Amino acid sequence: KAGVTQTPRYLIKTRGQQVTLSCSPISGHRSVSWYQQTPGQGLQFLFEYFSETQRNKGNFPGRFSGRQFSNSRSEMNVSTLELGDSALYLCASSLVGVYAKDNEQFFGPGTRLTVL
> Contact residues for another protein (CB under 8 A)?
31, 33, 35, 42-45, 48, 50, 55-56, 88, 90, 92, 94, 100-101, 103-110
The answer to whether 74 touches 91, Cβ cutoff 8 Å, is yes
Least distance CB 16 / another protein (angstroms): 28
Least distance CB 98 / another protein (angstroms): 12
Residue (35 or 64) nearer to another protein, CB = 35
Least distance CB 68 / another protein (angstroms): 13
* E strand map for the chain: 5-7, 10-13, 19-24, 31-38, 42-50, 53-57, 64-68, 74-78, 87-94, 106-107, 111-115
